[in-house]
Structure 1
Amino acid sequence: MVVLDLFSGAGGLSEGFFRQGATFVGHVEVDNYACQTLKTRKAYWKLRKQNKLDIYYDYLLNKISNTELLRLANIDEEHEIINKAISEDTMNDIYKNISINIKRNKVKKIDVIIGGPPCQAYSIVGRARMKESVKNDHRNFLYKFYVQFLEKYKPKIFVFENVPGLKTAGNGEYYRHLQIALENAGYHLEEQEMVASDYGVLQTRKRIIIVGIRKRKNQKNFPKVIFSKIILDKDITVNDVLRDLPFTLPGNKIEGENLYVENTNKYLELSHIREKDFNILTQHETRPHNDRDREIYQEAIIAWDERKERLCYSELSRRRPDLCTHKNKTTFTNRFNVIKSDQKASHTILAHMAMDGHYYIHPDIKQLRSLSIREAARLQSFPDDFYFEGPRTSIFRQIGNAVPPKMAEQIAKKITDLL
């Protein structure tokens, strides 16, 4: 399966296709830190194929540099990971890089194109924040470049991923134009709204997936695209994602070997988050919090543990006015939210987590902090051996923008069957 990945982000969607043995002829991504993450992950998959993962583990343990890792894994940084914005000005350069990768991998053509344009302009939260400016946001029209890649490479199948808000943005105008453009490019469309918790991810994240199947002459019948759901054991809860990680406090970082406080469990193994023999913890790193925020976190945890209620900011301002600094007490009153460890799935991990951690409070009242990088990654089903590059803020953004790898794996399995 030869794959081209557009608008790659940190590689959540491509991770699912790596697991199906895909050969990639390019990952195209504008964000520099996300591209560094993609290079590191590409090194993992190359070294794994060569039975040389000890080199990758040396990197996780800070025994070798990232430069040395990429050299030993023979990563062509310029061509394999294409760090460019997709635009009229860059298309020819991107095509050239893809051609180099096609020749280097000794393949003839691309079977599958995957990816989805940035979703801020389509998401309901993004539209509320951007207000009138959303109408002129260039990201509304990035799908046109996606269509150009389809027209040039004519893959057998494509996977277009985005937020459910895509269907209502611009009163549905963008979605109608997208459908018409994809069909005119020669594809039969199958659309499905996926909830991550149906596919082995302990999170209620929703995504629209459009699968395009290239039409053959006079073809009338097409396979129905249904992704296989994963039914988890009834006793699995969000706590299974968190409980083997060590106790920590705000502004702390824990990394190294033999630091897990429990053996792995059946959910972590099933989701490929932590395999039985893997014992290297990285990026269990928390952001700092001031004392006032930690007191609010305590109130939020008590509200959930004792009353199963979400902390309301307006109510808090009446009971504890000393803790409330926001003048606005009528909107965004739900700005504080606890990860419910006793539930089957957490609320959605969003890129906004890069701005503050109030919406992602760890459930342990003794810790009084927001989620660490590793905890957020786990709730997105990223494996513990997946290393994110860049500063903490960028990493949280990469995690929040990603397709959960376990859900991506189910998508990739179906695409493999279709091919």
Structure 2
Amino acid sequence: MKFIDLFAGCGGLSEGFYKQGFKSLTHVEIDHHACKTLKTRMKYYGYNDNDVNVLEEDITSEDIISKIESHVKNKTVDVIIGGPPCQSFSSLGRAKDENGMADDPRNFLFESYIKVLNRFQPKVFVFENVTGLLSAKINGKPIINIILKELGKKYNLLKDIDQMVLNSCDYGVPQIRKRVILIGTRKDLKIKPSIIYKGIIKTHTNPDSKTNNETNLKDFVTVKDAISDLPKIKPGEGKPILKHEVKSNNEYLSKIRNFNDCEIRDHVARTHNLSDKMRYKIMSKNKWTFAELLEKKPSLNHNKQRVFNNSYVVQFWDKPARTIIAHLYKDGNQFIHPDHTQERTLTAREAARLQSFPDDFVFEGSRTQQYKQIGNAVPPMMAEAIAKSIKQVLEDI
């Protein structure tokens, strides 16, 4: 079964489809470093130089259809996947912009997705975005209604928007990450999209779930499950490749790591100033919020007066992580390591672990670029749950 990945990023969504045996026809992505990551991963999956089809292009360019056609050729496209950049839809982005990002050109990138969708008319599509999409407006009109109207011309869609919101934690990802997943089925196939949604099987509980009493669900995967085996390092320490053997196995690590591996990539800690190290250490040791720190240790207030409770946030060993975000490339203050003796923020590999990327996944580019790619990605284990259901439906027809 063949797919096209639009707004591919580093390939978190496509990773789930690779795991289920889908074949990539092409990826479209504008970021150079993410494109290098996509190419490296395709070679990992056995694609040769002739088959490594990654279009480093602006999807809004006039000739994008012909460029995609040159890669697809005469092959049938079974699935189109992808998520237009979401900064303009996010509630945080709208709050920071005086116009609520109403003038942001990224609001209209979904039109490019629909343009490609209408040209290749796959059997199924997957459109991923932040939950802020549900409340975003353009010229006073809810953007979700505009998108659903356009997508619904040739595709069956769910009527209940709430059912389109999935949480990665439910699928074994050690992270709370709610995302809008729009799945459509081509009308002539007469497949109800509800069949696909029902097939996206929840395997784990999550701290906010109302289904935690279901006996068939496993306990949510914690930060401790995901990263506690990694070498302890202080700020400024670590190397692009470190020797590392996992001594204590757990179910989560067995899914993302080959236990014959004796190395770990990208486990390099940022350098931090003395004040931040003190903040990290005290907050993680006491499990304090930033507000509690300011109340009890006012000397550690920040000069920039960013007194938001989410300016500095500790991740806790016994819970899933908070949503990993692309802002991680600017600073990691919202992702303070739970071990107070390390007095630092998360490394790129730790963030990748919390996103459910396999340890053998290579992120190309600088550490800044790695953080950005990881934060923007769809968790691969969540993507695989979606791919598995779509595969079953396509096999049935």
TM-score norm. by structure 2 comes to 0.89
* CA offsets 1:309-359 (integer angstroms, 9 cap, x no match): 4231xx534543432233536x5133111111112x111111111111111
Structure 1 residue runs of 5 or longer lacking an equivalent are 48-72
Per-residue deviation, 1:102: 2.5
- 1:297 partnered with 2:283: no
1:178 corresponds in structure 2 to 147
Question: Quick check: 2:3–2:81 contact (8 Å CA) kept in 1?
Answer: yes
1:202 corresponds in structure 2 to 174
2:213 corresponds in structure 1 to none
1:347-358 residue pairs with structure 2 within 5 A?
Answer: 347-358=322-333
CA RMSD of aligned residues (A): 2.1
* CA offsets 1:274-307 (integer angstroms, 9 cap, x no match): 1232333111111110111000111211331xxx
* CA offsets 1:381-418 (integer angstroms, 9 cap, x no match): 00000010111111111111100000000000011112
1:11-410 residue pairs with structure 2 within 5 A?
Answer: 11-46=11-46, 73-74=48-49, 80-87=53-60, 90-92=61-63, 94-103=64-73, 108-132=75-99, 134-170=101-137, 173-184=142-153, 186-190=154-158, 192-216=164-188, 219=190, 223-224=194-195, 225-226=197-198, 227-231=200-204, 233-234=218-219, 236-256=221-241, 258-260=243-245, 262-269=247-254, 272-304=255-287, 309-312=288-291, 315-328=292-305, 331-343=307-319, 345-410=320-385
Structure 2: how far apart are the matches of 1:222 and 1:350?
29
Per-residue deviation, 1:130: 2.3
Per-residue deviation, 1:234: 3.6
Judge which range, 331-340 or 34-43, deviates more.
331-340
Structure 1: how far apart are the matches of 2:40 and 2:130?
27
Question: Quick check: 1:43–1:75 contact (8 Å CA) kept in 2?
Answer: no
1:5 corresponds in structure 2 to 5
Per-residue deviation, 1:255: 4.5
SS at match of 2:14: helix
SS at match of 1:384: coil
Question: Quick check: 1:243–1:262 contact (8 Å CA) kept in 2?
Answer: no
Structure 2: how far apart are the matches of 1:221 and 1:8?
26
Per-residue deviation, 1:145: 1.0
Structure 1: how far apart are the matches of 2:271 and 2:243?
25
Structure 1: how far apart are the matches of 2:316 and 2:321?
6
* CA offsets 1:7-62 (integer angstroms, 9 cap, x no match): 00110000000111111111001111111111111111116xxxxxxxxxxxxxxx
* CA offsets 1:87-123 (integer angstroms, 9 cap, x no match): 1xx242x3333333234xxx63211100010000011
Question: Quick check: 1:303–1:310 contact (8 Å CA) kept in 2?
Answer: no
Per-residue deviation, 1:222: 5.9
TM-score norm. by structure 1 comes to 0.84
Q: Write the letter of the residue equivalent to 2:299.
A: D
Question: Quick check: 1:111–1:155 contact (8 Å CA) kept in 2?
Answer: yes
Structure 2: how far apart are the matches of 1:297 and 1:75?
48
Alpha carbons of structure 1 residues 235 and 358: separation in structure 2 relative to 1, 3 Å: closer
* CA offsets 1:154-200 (integer angstroms, 9 cap, x no match): 1111000001110100166211100111112x001135110110011
SS at match of 1:298: helix
